[in-house]
Structure 1
Amino acid sequence: MPIALRPFPVLLLLCVVCLLCVPRISYAVPSFYRQSGIACNACHTSFPQLNALGRDFKLKGYTLSTGQSTAPPLAVMLQPSFTHTSEGQPGGAAPGFDNNDNVALTQGSVFYAGRLFGGFADKSPLLGKFGAFIQTTYDGVEKAWSWDNAEFRFADSASTEKHKFDYGFYLNNSPTLQDLWNTTPVWSYPYSGSGLAPTPAAETLLGGGLAQQVAGFGGYVWLDSSLYLELGGYDSLSASVQSDLGVDPEGEAQIDNPAPYWRLAKEHAWGAHHLEVGTFGMAADTYPERDSSAGTDHYLDIGMDSEYQYAKGRHDVTVMFSGLRERQEWDASRTLGLAENSSGALWTLAATGSYFFDKTYGVTAQYFRFGGDTDMLLYADNRTYSPDSYGWILQLDYMPLNKSGGPKFWPGSNVKFSLQYTRYNKFDGAGRNYDGSGRDASDNDTLYLEAWLAF
């Protein structure tokens, strides 16, 4: 029987086919560094956290190039890790793992990241305006491959007598993947974490509830290097397409009609300082658990964010704030017995500060909080029926190759060694010394060691 695909998924699949048809030149495997000649520390304070140059590179569609390499921009990432939780998890942290003190390959990824048409873009000004960031990932906990972050861009610039602006169009598979700042969900801190430690169950649509399940198309304008405006829309991929790409569609919310997404941000730069203030959001009607028999639920997500950066000499400072509130109307879920209440709310906030010295040593601290209305059916898996969680994350980083640009035999390679500690004051409604049965918040405190290798 033929498979019915919606317009957004069809467009995405056509782009994937075009990418796979690009000829490969095999004598080199360049990354962004090999394509542009720009070292990692020029675009990042600590990868993947962007600075001003990194945001400009992304804004222009990943297409900046010296023209020295004609090979496709391929890269590889590995994240071996060790996880210790305050109390072990009976039955194992995951299938095939012990209750505690687990070593794993958190993930391994292969990227096609740079000019979409590789070295062939040098032969055509038009081809040189197309870029891509395509990631496929092996999950060492689930022991499975799937597609990950995927984005195609067209970017160009123009000017009038009084104004200059960059503009572009994107096609991607996760809302906020396209964003320039590290304050929206896809690229927000923590940039990596254990797949073998408990994490709060509550999740907003924009906070990750649609990641890799959708196809979205939109456009943006960056006016006078100050005002950023973006409009887009997202629609769910069919269950069969998701399964073919390694994503399990069971239990997910399926978007009924393309859901509008918006982003507005203002950035002001003076000297070594950059300050951004913005808002973002999405409205979506969805079929709960992909069941259309009872109509739709409705979500309205509205976020506010701000980022301050100071970069001068051997010092890099970043302070970020993000808050997201989701209004939920459970008309369909209540009819299907999936929610007790007819409406509710869920909100998240995070305040993060980081300091990096000499592009080598870093410390990052974050306060995070999830809150919302209780519901005996939505949150039936925890004994408080509550989404409330809050706590702290402290992370130390060491990047020995960040200044040198990697070893001579593989330039552009980098590595980050991280020690991350997460403390929960409340976890899914339970406090640190809750007297009820089951796990207390403190049982989920996590020590996570990781080596992040990129080459």
Structure 2
Amino acid sequence: MLIPLTCRAVPSFARQLNMQCIACHTEYPLLNEFGRQFKLGGYTLGTGQDAIPLALMLQPSFTHTQAPQAGGAAPGFNDNNNPALTQASIFYAGRLFGPYAGKLFGESEAELANKFGLFLQVTYDGVGKAWTWDNTEFRYADTKTIGGKNVTYGLYLNNNPTLQDPWNSTPAWGYPFTSSHLAPTPAGSPLIANSVSQQVAGAGAYAMIANSLYVDLAGYRTLDQHTQRALGINPDGETQITGLAPYWRIAVVRPVGPGIWEAGAFGLAADTYPGRDQSAGKDRIVDIGLDSQYQESFKQSDVTVMFSWINEHQDWKASQTLGNTSNATDRLWTLKATVSYLFDKTYGLTGQYFMKDGDADPLLYSGSANGSPRSDGFVLQANYLPFNKDGGPKFWSRSNVKLSVQYTFYNRFDGAKANYDGAGANARDNNTLYLEAWIVF
């Protein structure tokens, strides 16, 4: 059981809508078309049960790596075969004022108040033994008819670039949705790919035009150290975004046969202080991503195909001066191709091929076998959702459980190949078996 950085499948949404989880998801947290519309609407649709929009989540798990990790997988854990309750989360998710807007403000004002929604996650990290704020977003959303076209638009505040995105092909909600924090992971990650999550605050605006064109503009900046510490985040050594880092997103949506196809682009450009050190000036990091998602439901089956590619240009004016990088500039890029299949809303299979590569930089990737960030492999996962159709037992209204077996297989890991002769670093020493129960109620 290991903690994911992200979760958005919460029973408080199901209770607000008075629907089962499958109204918005195939297998949570993967959204279907109705789920995307619910998110675009600011989490406010529905009147549902007369209850405060609270939900809880537990993720017990077990991690086994092909080779033991000397010194232990983390402080207080064994070098292999580690059970853990790595994450417990509390959510306030749905309409900002729950079902009480009319009582608080009167019926006429309630119409406006019910256009504000909130997704707030507070998490106990069982590996780090600390409480932190997790993915958090505040929204205002409404719909208008402009030029004969229906437009859903909104404003938001959040703490993770791409958190607001309605597709699962961008980083914040991308697959794997959960993975072990007690297993080695490749070095190097684009800034936009959860590298600054919970460290930043951003504000933006979005619009979905005629359910065919989505546009989103925002700006992000790193929170000050005192605020981060108060929220449970340790800012020591983090990459600090200075000024306002613009984020942009555009996507087109088209029906293709019986399914829905999305293709888009997104990006983030930031001036940064490496390790919050301002003595040598600023670095410049520019991320540009392309993504696509196709989803189709037929008979008893749901199929989702996702693709994501991110290219990052890194200008190390400050980092090279500080001795953090060997090169003045570097390039890093990542690719993910994922297929998810769910049968009878109960039995799921997901497979992903991933690759990460870029310029060799011995100082930047000091733990790499040859200074290279090259890593690639597969993530295979089988899921069983016993309550997905019926919403859990009667005493556990709208609750759900996902039991998963996940295996991550590496062809390369931080430049190291998969060697069978035992010579040098072996990428497959990092292969990981991960068992998890994802329990939401």
TM-score (norm: length of structure 2): 0.94
Q: Which AA in structure 1 matches 2:390? A: S
- Equivalenced residues, count: 426
How far apart, CA to CA, are the structure 2 residues paired with 1:161 and 1:429?
Answer: 54
**In structure 1, the residue corresponding to 2:365 is in which secondary structure?**
coil
- Residue 17 of structure 1 is matched in structure 2 by none
- Residue 179 of structure 2 is matched in structure 1 by 193
Q: Which AA in structure 2 matches 1:344? A: D
- Residue 58 of structure 1 is matched in structure 2 by 39
Across the aligned residues of Structure 1 and Structure 2, the Cα RMSD in angstroms comes to 1.4
Q: Which AA in structure 2 matches 1:113? A: A
How far apart, CA to CA, are the structure 1 residues paired with 2:417 and 2:166?
Answer: 36
Within the alignment, does 1:212 sit opposite 2:194 as a pair? Answer: no
**Mapping of residues 167-186 of structure 1, within 5 Å:** 167-186=153-172
How far apart, CA to CA, are the structure 1 residues paired with 2:313 and 2:11?
Answer: 44
Does the C-alpha gap of structure 1 residues 346 and 53 become closer, same or farther in structure 2, counting only changes over 3 Å?
A: same
Q: Which of 382, 386, 398 is 1:400 aligned to?
A: 386
**Mapping of residues 156-167 of structure 1, within 5 Å:** 156-167=142-153
Kept after mapping to 2: 8 A contact 1:315/1:358: yes
Q: Quote the offset at 1:271 in angstroms.
A: 6.0
Within the alignment, does 1:231 sit opposite 2:231 as a pair? Answer: no
Kept after mapping to 1: 8 A contact 2:73/2:79: yes
Kept after mapping to 2: 8 A contact 1:115/1:121: no
Q: Quote the offset at 1:92 in angstroms.
A: 0.6
Q: Which AA in structure 2 matches 1:302? A: I
Kept after mapping to 1: 8 A contact 2:417/2:425: no
**In structure 1, the residue corresponding to 2:186 is in which secondary structure?**
coil
For residues 44-98 of structure 1, what are the alpha-carbon distances to aligned partners after superposition, in whole Å with 9 as ceiling and x for unaligned? 11110000000000000000122541x3210001010011110110111111111
How far apart, CA to CA, are the structure 2 residues paired with 1:72 and 1:313?
Answer: 36
How far apart, CA to CA, are the structure 2 residues paired with 1:413 and 1:100?
Answer: 32
**Mapping of residues 324-339 of structure 1, within 5 Å:** 324-339=310-325
How far apart, CA to CA, are the structure 1 residues paired with 2:85 and 2:206?
Answer: 37
Identity, % of aligned pairs? 58
Q: Quote the offset at 1:436 in angstroms.
A: 8.4
- Residue 73 of structure 2 is matched in structure 1 by 93
Within the alignment, does 1:351 sit opposite 2:337 as a pair? Answer: yes
Kept after mapping to 1: 8 A contact 2:47/2:99: no
Q: Quote the offset at 1:145 in angstroms.
A: 1.1
How far apart, CA to CA, are the structure 1 residues paired with 2:299 and 2:114?
Answer: 33
Kept after mapping to 1: 8 A contact 2:15/2:48: no
Within the alignment, does 1:72 sit opposite 2:76 as a pair? Answer: no
**Mapping of residues 38-53 of structure 1, within 5 Å:** 38-53=19-34
**In structure 2, the residue corresponding to 1:32 is in which secondary structure?**
helix
Within the alignment, does 1:153 sit opposite 2:134 as a pair? Answer: no
**In structure 2, the residue corresponding to 1:322 is in which secondary structure?**
strand
Kept after mapping to 2: 8 A contact 1:376/1:385: yes
Q: Which AA in structure 2 matches 1:244? A: A
Kept after mapping to 2: 8 A contact 1:120/1:127: no
Q: Quote the offset at 1:405 in angstroms.
A: 1.1
Does the C-alpha gap of structure 1 residues 270 and 378 become closer, same or farther in structure 2, counting only changes over 3 Å?
A: closer
Kept after mapping to 2: 8 A contact 1:213/1:249: yes
Kept after mapping to 1: 8 A contact 2:122/2:133: yes
Kept after mapping to 1: 8 A contact 2:65/2:429: yes
Does the C-alpha gap of structure 1 residues 436 and 282 become closer, same or farther in structure 2, counting only changes over 3 Å?
A: farther
Q: Which AA in structure 2 matches 1:227? A: L
Q: Which of 94, 115, 137 is 2:95 aligned to?
A: 115
- Residue 24 of structure 1 is matched in structure 2 by none
Q: Quote the offset at 1:30 in angstroms.
A: 6.6
- Residue 315 of structure 1 is matched in structure 2 by 301
For residues 167-226 of structure 1, what are the alpha-carbon distances to aligned partners after superposition, in whole Å with 9 as ceiling and x for unaligned? 000000000000000011010000001111101111110011111000000000100011
How far apart, CA to CA, are the structure 1 residues paired with 2:318 and 2:143?
Answer: 45
For residues 232-280 of structure 1, what are the alpha-carbon distances to aligned partners after superposition, in whole Å with 9 as ceiling and x for unaligned? 0000000111111111111111111110000000011256310000000
Q: Which AA in structure 2 matches 1:332? A: A
Kept after mapping to 1: 8 A contact 2:70/2:79: yes
Larger mean CA deviation between 106-115 and 167-176 belongs to 106-115
Q: Which runs of 5+ in 1 are unaligned?
A: 1-28
- Residue 6 of structure 2 is matched in structure 1 by none
- Residue 7 of structure 2 is matched in structure 1 by none
Q: Which has the higher contact order (CA 8 A, sep 6+)?
A: 2
**In structure 1, the residue corresponding to 2:26 is in which secondary structure?**
strand
- Residue 297 of structure 1 is matched in structure 2 by 283
Kept after mapping to 2: 8 A contact 1:261/1:283: yes
- Residue 275 of structure 1 is matched in structure 2 by 261
Does the C-alpha gap of structure 1 residues 30 and 433 become closer, same or farther in structure 2, counting only changes over 3 Å?
A: closer
Q: Which AA in structure 2 matches 1:65? A: G
Q: Quote the offset at 1:437 in angstroms.
A: 7.1
Does the C-alpha gap of structure 1 residues 382 and 161 become closer, same or farther in structure 2, counting only changes over 3 Å?
A: closer
Q: Quote the offset at 1:381 in angstroms.
A: 2.2
**In structure 1, the residue corresponding to 2:275 is in which secondary structure?**
helix
Q: Which AA in structure 1 matches 2:80? A: N
Q: Which runs of 5+ in 2 are unaligned?
A: 1-9
Within the alignment, does 1:84 sit opposite 2:72 as a pair? Answer: no
How far apart, CA to CA, are the structure 2 residues paired with 1:396 and 1:249?
Answer: 36
TM-score (norm: length of structure 1): 0.91
For residues 288-320 of structure 1, what are the alpha-carbon distances to aligned partners after superposition, in whole Å with 9 as ceiling and x for unaligned? 111111110001100000000001231100000
Q: Which of 106, 110, 115 is 2:86 aligned to?
A: 106
Q: Quote the offset at 1:106 in angstroms.
A: 2.3
**In structure 2, the residue corresponding to 1:410 is in which secondary structure?**
coil
How far apart, CA to CA, are the structure 1 residues paired with 2:125 and 2:119?
Answer: 19
Q: Quote the offset at 1:410 in angstroms.
A: 1.6
Kept after mapping to 1: 8 A contact 2:115/2:142: yes
**Mapping of residues 413-452 of structure 1, within 5 Å:** 413-433=399-419, 439-452=425-438
- Residue 351 of structure 2 is matched in structure 1 by 365
Does the C-alpha gap of structure 1 residues 405 and 149 become closer, same or farther in structure 2, counting only changes over 3 Å?
A: same
How far apart, CA to CA, are the structure 1 residues paired with 2:362 and 2:96?
Answer: 48
**In structure 2, the residue corresponding to 1:126 is in which secondary structure?**
helix
